[in-house]
Structure 1
Amino acid sequence: MLNGKTRKRTEKQLTAADILGNPDYLAMSYGGYRKKTRDIQPTIPQLKEDMKIMSAMGVRILRTYNVQLQQAPNLLKAISELKTEDPAFEMYVMLGAWIDCKNAWTDKVPNHEVESEHNSGEIERAVALANQYPDIVKIIAVGNEAMVHWATSYFVRPGVILKWVNHLQDLKKKGLLPKSLWITSSDDFSSWGGGDPAYHTEDLNKLIRAVDYISMHTYPMHNSHYNPAFWLVPENEYDWSDRDKIESGMQRALNFAIYQYRNVKNYMKSLGVNKPVHIGETGWATISNEHYGADGSKAADEYKSGRYFQLIRDWSNKEKVSCFYFEAFDEPWKDANNPLGSENHFGLINIDGQAKYAIWDFVDKGIFKGLTRDGRPITKTYNGSEEELLVDVHVPPRIEDISINH
C-alpha cells in the first residue's frame, strides 16, 4: 500500500525531475524478449508478469531502446492496464528512439556523416507514444550508443543527435509534448566527453547544453578485457586469499565506473554547464565463453556480477544518481548464434525464471511470493548454494601472467 504522502505525490503526476536520482524509484534497463529472435514479441500478459516482478524489486522506472518494434507500445499498454487494475501501481518509462547512420545494418558501407532516412519516423513514433501515455513516459532518449565510434555498424555524429534533441525541445515549447518531459541521449561515457578528446566537438558541447540531463554508460566488465590495468591483481595482493583478491577487483571495478562518471561530469562543468548526470547503462554478465570468461579476463560469473550490482546500487543510491542497471532479464536474441555469449547473460533473472546471485536475498525475503514468469515461480540459481556457485568463479589474472589479446 502507498502511504498518504506517496499517494498524494502520485496524483499530482511525478516528473522525471522527481524520479531521477530518487532512491525510492530504482531504475532498470528492460527488453523482456524470451526467444532467440525479436520476431517473437513478449505478449501483454508476459509484460505484465515482468512489471510485477520488477515492481516487487523496487524498480519504478524502465529504460527501453526503440519504437521500431511492437515491444515498447505493448509495454506502455501493459503498464497502463496494470494501473487501471491497481491505481497504486507505479511504473514509468524512459522511452528510447533508435538512431542510425545511412546504410546502417545493410550490405552497404555505413555512412557516418549522413543519418538514416528512418530516424524521422522513429522520432515521430516516440512523440506519439509520449503524448498517448504522458502519465508513464517521463523521458525520451534520442539514440542508444549512437555517437560512440566503436558502434561501427551505425554511429552518427553528435550533430544528428543535437538536431533531434532540439526538435523535441521545440515541440515542448510549442505545447506539442508535455513540458515536464525530459529529453536526453544515452551513450558511452566517452561520447559525453569523459574520455578520448576526439569526442570534444562543438556539436557535442551544444548537445550537452540542449539535453535536460546526461545519460552515460560505463562498463568495467568490458574494460576488464579492453582496458585491463585496473582489473589485474597487483603484486602486493598476490598473497591474499582468492576471495579477497576478487573483492579487491570488484572494488576497483566500482572505482573505475565512478571515475568515468566523474570524468563526464567534469567535462560538462568545464563548459560552464551544471545539470544532472545519471547512469543510463551499466551491468555485469554472468556467463561468457569469449573475452570475459575463464580463458579471458575471468570477469564473467554470478558472484562478481552480484557484487557489482550491490556495489553500484549502493553507490548510486547514496549519491542520488539514477542507475538504469543492465538488465532485468536475460535476452537470448542478443547473441543468438552463441548461447554462451556474454550479451545473452546480463540479466538479474535468467530465461528459466531463476534469480541470479545478485538478488538471492529478494527470494529469501519472499518478495516474489505469488509471482511467476512464464508460469514458473522465481527460484534461485545453483539451488541457492553459494558453495556450488563459487566453483564457477575465477580469480582475476595477475599483472605478470596476463595473456589477453587486444
Structure 2
Amino acid sequence: MVVFCLLFSCNSKPESQEMNANPKEISAKELLGNPDYQAICYGGYRKNTRDIEPSIAQIKEDLKILAALNIKFLRTYNVHYKEVSNLLEAISQLKKEDSKFVMYVMLGAWIDCKNAWTELEPIHNEESERNAIEIAEAVRLANAYPEIIKIISVGNEAMVNWATSYYVTPNIILKWVNHLQELKKQNKLAKDVWITSSDDFASWGGGDVSYHTKDLEDLIKAVDYVSMHTYPYHNTHYNPDFWQSSSNENHFDELQKVATAMVRAQLFAKKQFENVKAYVHSISPNKPIHIGETGWASSSDGFYGIEGSKASDEYKQALYYQSMRAWTNSEKITCFYFEAFDEPWKDSNNPNGSENHFGIFTVDGKAKFTLWNSVDDKVFTNLKRDGKSIEKTFSDNKEFVMKTVFAPPTKR
C-alpha cells in the first residue's frame, strides 16, 4: 500500500546524541511472531488532508479502541508529520494513566528518490536530500521513546518499480540500514531495536528475478528481519487468474463463489510469503520474515468495484481479515494488518476510492462487518471516537451488507 507523502521539514537532534537509558519492557525479537501482540497499521487522520492532524486526545481514543481488540503493536510510515510524535506522546500518557496499558511501535522512516513528487524526472539511483533528515528524526524518536519504539523501518514500498514517483534502488535502502546498524554498535541507538525495510514481496525477491541483485542480497543480510507486503486485493485486477470463478463453479451460488474466491486470496498471499521465504533463506537461512502490510478494502468505485473485479465489500474484507489472522497466528508470523481506521486523505479527490476504505473501522468510528462480533461482545463499551460510540455499519442489518456482495467475474 503506497502512502503518498509530501516533503516537509522537521526538527531533529544530532545523531551523536547518546541513547536514552530507560529500560525496555520487551524487545522486537520477543514481539515479532508472538500472537499475544497483535499488530496493525495506524494512521489517525480524520479529514481529507494531512494538514489537519489528529490531536493527542483523539489518538488516545483510537489507542483505547485498538487495545480493546488486543492490538498491541502499531506500524507508522514517516516522522515528518506531528501525528507520529503525538502518537508516541499519547502512548506515554496512557501508560502513565494505566500501568497495564501496552502498545509498541514499528516506526517508519520515509525514503524517496531524487526529484520525487516534483515536476522533474525522478532519478531512482539517487536519493532525496530529505532522507537524511527523516532518518535522523527516526533515531531521535527511538532514543526518546525506547520503551515504545521497537523497530525502525527504512522506507515503505520504496524499492518496488511500480512506485514510479519515488522508488529508489536497493543500495540506497542498504546505506541507511547499515547506518542504523552502525549506530547500534556505537551505542547511539538501542542494540535491541530491530532495523528493517517494509516492501512489496517482489522487492524482497519473491517475484520477478530482475529484483535479484547483489545489493538486495546485501540488504537481506543487513536487516534484522524482512518485512514484506502482500495484496491479493490489488491482484484481483492486476493478476486476476486466481480470483475469477471458473466453469467448475457454475453450480455454486453467489456466496459459495465468494467463499472459494476468498480462500484462493488467502492462498495467494501465503504463496507470495513462501516465495519471499525461499529467496531470502537462500541468502540468509535464518532470517526472520513477517508481514508488514496486507489488507482488503471494503469499498471502491474503480478497478475493484462493481464495474471491475467486484472485490470490495465489508463481507469479503471480514473473510480476508479472519483468514489472515488465523494463518499468521498459527504460523507465528506477525501481520501488520492494513489498516485500523479509514483515512480519507489517501484519495482526497475521490471519496469512493478504495485507498480511503482499507480500515476495519470507518473514519467516524463505526465497526465494519469484520468487527460486528466484537460489538456484540461489548468489547467497545464506553469507548468513543470523536464523541461517537462504536456502533456497527449498515445500521446492524446484515441483509443490507449482503446486498453489496457480488461474486467475482467468471473466467472467459
Which TM-score applies when normalising by structure 1?
Answer: 0.95
Whether 2:138 is the aligned partner of 1:126: answer yes
Matched ranges for 1:254-333 at <5 A? 254-333=266-345
CA contact (8 A) 1:306 1:357 kept: yes
> 2:118 is matched with which residue: 106, 111, 126?
106
**Number of the residue aligned with 2:193:** 181
3-state SS, counterpart of residue 95 of structure 1? strand
Taking the aligned partners of 2:252 and 2:228, their CA distance within structure 1 comes to 34
Stretch of structure 1 that moved more, 11-20 or 247-256: 11-20
Q: Which runs of 5+ in 1 are unaligned?
A: 1-10, 401-406
User: How far 1:384 moved relative to its partner?
Assistant: 1.7
Q: Determine if contact 1:34/1:332 at 8 Å carries over to the other structure.
A: yes
CA–CA distance in structure 2, aligned partners of residues 218 and 227 of structure 1: 13
- Residue 172 in 1 paired to residue 177 in 2? no
2:369 equivalent in structure 1: 357
Question: Counterpart of 1:115?
Answer: 127
Contact 2:360 2:367 in 1 (8 A): yes
How many Å separate the matches in 2 of 1:369 and 1:137?
Answer: 29
2:39 is matched with which residue?
27
Counting matched residue pairs gives 390
Q: 2:28 is matched by which residue type in structure 1?
A: A
Distance 1:19 1:310, change over 3 A: same
Matched, 1:62 2:61: no
CA offsets, 1:224-261, max 9 Å, x none? 00000000101111111111110000000000000000
Identity across aligned pairs (percent)? 59
Quote the RMSD (CA, aligned, Å): 0.8
One-letter amino acid of the counterpart of residue 406, structure 2 = H
Distance in 1 of aligned mates of 2:363 and 2:80? 24
Is 1:140 the counterpart of 2:152? The answer is yes
Render the CA deviation track for 1:83-109: whole Å, top value 9, x for unaligned: 011111000000000000000011111
Deviations 1:91-148 (A, max 9, x none): 0000000000000011111110100000000000000000000000000000000000
Instruction: Please tell me whether the aligned partners of residues 142 and 165 of structure 1 are also in contact (alpha carbons under 8 angstroms).
Output: yes
Letter in 2 for 1:152: T
SS at match of 1:293: coil
2:352 aligned residue: 340
Q: Distance in 2 between matches of 1:220 and 1:284?
A: 8
Q: Secondary structure of the equivalent of 2:125?
A: strand
> Aligned to 2:312, what secondary structure does the other structure show?
coil
Q: 1:272 offset after TM fit, Å?
A: 4.0
Matched, 1:389 2:401: yes
Q: Extract unaligned runs of 5+ from structure 2.
A: 1-22
Q: Which runs of 4+ in 1 moved over 6 A?
A: none
Partner of 2:262: 250
Q: Please list the CA deviations of residues 181-227 of structure 1 after superposition, one character each: whole Å capped at 9, or x if unmatched.
A: 00000000000000010100000000000000000000000000000
Whether the 8 Å CA contact 2:305–2:311 is kept in 1: the answer is yes
- 8 Å CA contact 1:61–1:94 kept in 2: the answer is yes
SS at structure 1 position matched to 2:346: coil
Instruction: Check whether the contact 2:106–2:153 (CA below 8 A) recurs between aligned residues.
Output: yes
Residue type of the alignment partner of 2:218: K
Give the match for residue 7 of structure 1: none
Aligned partner of 1:72 among 63, 75, 84: 84
Conserved? CA contact 1:209–1:273, under 8 Å:
no
What is the rounded CA distance, in whole Å, between the counterparts of 2:28 and 2:62 in structure 1? Answer: 22
